[in-house]
Structure 1
Amino acid sequence: MNMSTAPELLEAALPDRWIDGESSVFRENFDRKSFEVSHHLASHPLFQLPQLMDLAERTLKTRPLDLYYDMGDVAPGQKWKDTNRNFSPLDALRQLEDSDAWFIFRSAQKDPAYTELYRQAMAEIKEMIGGDLNSRIMREDIIIFVTSPKRTTTYHIDRECNFILQIHGEKELYLFDREDRQIPPEEEIERFWTIDNNAPNYRPELQNRALTYRLAPGNGVHVPVNCPHWLQNGDNISVTLSVNVQFIDSIRADIYRANHYLRRLGINPNPPGQSAVRDRAKAMAYSTASAVRRAARSALKRGG
C-alpha cells in the first residue's frame, strides 16, 4: 500500500463504531475476569496481507525492534527464547501459508497509517469502562499478530491487560485463572515481574482448567493482567489485533519483586493482598532500594 493512499482507504472503511458490548459488562469485569466482545474491524483494509507486508517493510526500516518474528513447530510449553529467528521476515510473510511463522507488530499506532485506528479503538474501550481510567494508565498501544496456519502461540502471561480482536482466520484461546496458585505459582509471577519474561511454565496436566474461547472474524476476548494463556491457530492464516493497556501498578509489581528477593534469602513471603501493612512496607523497601541502586549507578557514570 502506498502511504499516500492510506487516508482514502481509511475514510472509505471506517464504521461509525468498531467495538460492541454492554458497558456494564466492561465496567464490572475489566481487568478482573475474561469476557467476550464483538467488533467491526474484520473488513478493514489495513489488516489485509498486502497492507501488512507494507507495514512490515516500514517497521523494519524505522522501528526494527517493534517487529518480532519467529518460525517453527512450537509447543505450548516452549519458551520464546528457544524459537528460530534465523530467517528473512519478509520472505516468511510472503510465504505465510507454508512458513510456520508468527509475527508481532508492536506499537503499530506509531505508523501514521494506523494512528487513527488506535485512537478510535482505545476511545471506545475507555468509554465503555468509564471512570478515571486514564489516571491509572502508564502505557497503551495496539499490537497486530500475523500467524501461519496451525501455528501455536506459547503459554505466557502479560504485564498488560488487553482486548484480543480476531480479524482473519480462526484460532482457539486457552485462558487460565490467574488466581489459581498452581497456574501460575507465586514464584513464577515473582520471577516474571523481576528478572524473567519466560518464567511461567506450562503444565499439560492442568490444561483442563482452562477456559476455551473460539476466536473468529468479528469476535474477541478481554484478557486481564497476568492471566496465563496460549493459542492454537486453525488451518488458516490468522490476523489478530490486540488493544493493550499497561497500568501504573508499581506497588503490586514491587511487592512481587520484593518477594522474589526475600525468597532468595530463604524466606517464604506472603503473596500480595494478605496484609496491606506488609504489602506497603515491602513495596516501599523495594522502591527505596531501587532508587538507591539507580543513584549509585548514575554517580558511577558521572565519575562521582
Structure 2
Amino acid sequence: MSANSNIATAPDVTVLPRVALEDMQLDIDPKSYQALYNKTPFGFTHNLHRLDIFQFDSISELLDRYTGASNDYYVAGSAATAGSAFFEAPHIKLTPKEAIHQLNERSTRILLKRLENHDDRFRRLLDLIIQQIRSIPGGLGDQPILRIQSSLFITSAASTTPLHFDPEVGFFTQIEGDKTYHVYSPDDVREEDLEDFYVRGKVSIGQLDLGERDPGKEQVYNLRAGDGFHQPQNAPHWVETCGSRSISYSCVFETKADRALGRTRAFNYYERKLGMRPTPPGQNSQLDNVKAEAIIPDRLARKVVNRIRHT
C-alpha cells in the first residue's frame, strides 16, 4: 500500500499539457468587465489548472509549509445547510497536511490563506493576475490596492459552505473537480446589514439570512476546472461541491476606494443609531468623502454626526 493511498482522488481526466507560470491567463470579456466589475458577478475561463503549482503533488508539498501557521489555515466540516451560521460547522482540529488524508472519510473543508507568504510562486501569480486585470480598460484600473491575498480551497465531495459575504473584490477559479456557486449581486444586501458589519472595522466574513435573499438576483455557476467568475465586494454567496474532491483558487483585494466606502458605511451606522436616515453611499460623493475621512470612535460619534447635520 502506498503512502498516499488514503488521499482523496479526483475522477480520471485527460492529462492536459502544462502551462508556464508566465503564460497564465484569465480569459475575461472586456465588455463584461467594464460594465459589471464590482457590481454584478460574471463568468470567465482560465488556464490556471494547467500550472505546475496547482498539480496535486505540488499542493501536497505546499501543505508542509503550513505546519505551525494556524492563523493561515482553517479546517472544518460541511455546514448542515446553506442557511446555517457560518461558524456553526464543526471545527476539525487537524493540520491541512493531516486533513488531506480524510477527505474521503469525512466531509472536510480546508482553506489555505495567504499562499503568497508561503511560496514565492504564488506571489508571482498574484502579481500576474493583477497586471492582467489592470490591463483591461475600466474596472480596477490604477486604483491603489491596500490589501491583497490568495487562498486555496480543498474540499470533500458533497460539502456545503453556508451563505456569507466577503469585504473584498474577488476573482475565483476552479482548479479541479466540480463546484456549484450560488451568488447574488451586492445590491441584494441591506445597507443596515453592511453598516453593522463595517462599523466593527475587522476583516472577516459577513453573516446574512438566506431566507431574506431575492431568488431573482441569484446567479448559479456550475464550475469545472478551467471555469471562473468575478465576485464583487459584499456579494452574498454559498457553495456546494459535487461528486468528487474540489480544489479552487481565489485572488481577493481591497482598494483604497473600497476601504473608504466601508468607513462611510461605518459612519452611517452611527447616524442611524441617532435616529437619522443616512444618505446611501454613491448618491453624494462629497458627503461620502467627508464621512470616510471623519474620526468616529464611539465617544466622538455624536459630535461628528451633529456637525454634518448642520453643514
Amino acid at match of 1:91: E
Partner of 1:69: 75
Deviation at 1:136, TM superposition (A): 2.9
Q: 1:292 to 1:48 in 2, by over 3 A?
A: farther
Which blocks of at least 5 consecutive residues in structure 2 are unaligned?
1-17, 301-311
Matches within 5 A, 1:6-25: 13-14=20-21, 16-25=23-32
User: Scaled by the length of structure 2, what TM-score is found?
Assistant: 0.79
1:73 and 1:100 in contact (8 A); partners too:
no
| Structure with the higher fraction of residues in helix conformation | 1
| Match of residue 109 from structure 1 | 116
Over 3 Å counting, the alpha-carbon distance change for 1:31 and 1:80 in structure 2 is same
Q: Partner residue of 1:178?
A: 186
Distance verdict in 2 for CA 1:273–1:204, change over 3 Å? closer
Instruction: Give SS of 1:59's match.
Output: coil
Cα distance in 1 for residues equivalent to 2:75 and 2:279: 38
- The structural deviation recorded for 1:148 is 0.9
Matching residue within 141, 148, 160 for 1:140: 148
Structural mapping, 1:185-264, within 5 Å? 185-195=190-200, 197-203=205-211, 206-249=214-257, 250-264=259-273
Give the counterpart letter for 2:149 in structure 1.
D
Aligned-residue offset at 1:210: 0.5
For the residues of structure 2 that align with 1:231 and 1:77, how far apart are their CA atoms?
11
Q: Give the C-alpha shift of residue 256 in structure 1.
A: 0.9
How do 1:57-96 and structure 2 match up within 5 A? 57-61=64-68, 63-89=69-95, 90-96=97-103
Query: Scaled by the length of structure 1, what TM-score is found?
Result: 0.81
Percentage identity across paired residues of the two chains = 24
Partner of 1:160: 168
Structure 1 residue 218 displacement after superposition: 0.6
- Quote the offset at 1:234 in angstroms: 0.7
Shift of 1:175: 1.3
Q: How many pairs align?
A: 277
Cα distance, 1:16 vs structure 2: 2.6
1:52 aligned residue: 59
CA distance in 2, matches of 1:15, 1:278: 43
Is the CA contact (8 Å cut-off) linking 2:165 and 2:207 kept in structure 1?
no
Shift of 1:103: 1.6
Residue ranges of structure 1 left out of the alignment (5+ in a row): 1-10, 294-304
Partner of 1:273: 282
Q: Which amino acid aligns with 2:42?
A: F
What is the CA-CA distance between 1:164 and the residue it aligns to?
Answer: 0.7
- Residue 40 of structure 1, CA deviation: 0.9
Contact 1:184 1:201 survives alignment (8 Å): no
User: Counterpart of 1:233 in structure 2: which amino acid?
Assistant: T
The aligned counterpart of 1:296 is: none
3-state DSSP of counterpart to 1:37? strand
Q: Deviations over 1:126-166 (max 9, x none)?
A: 22246873433112222111111111111111111111111
Kindly report the root-mean-square deviation, in angstroms, between the aligned alpha carbons of the 2 structures: 2.7
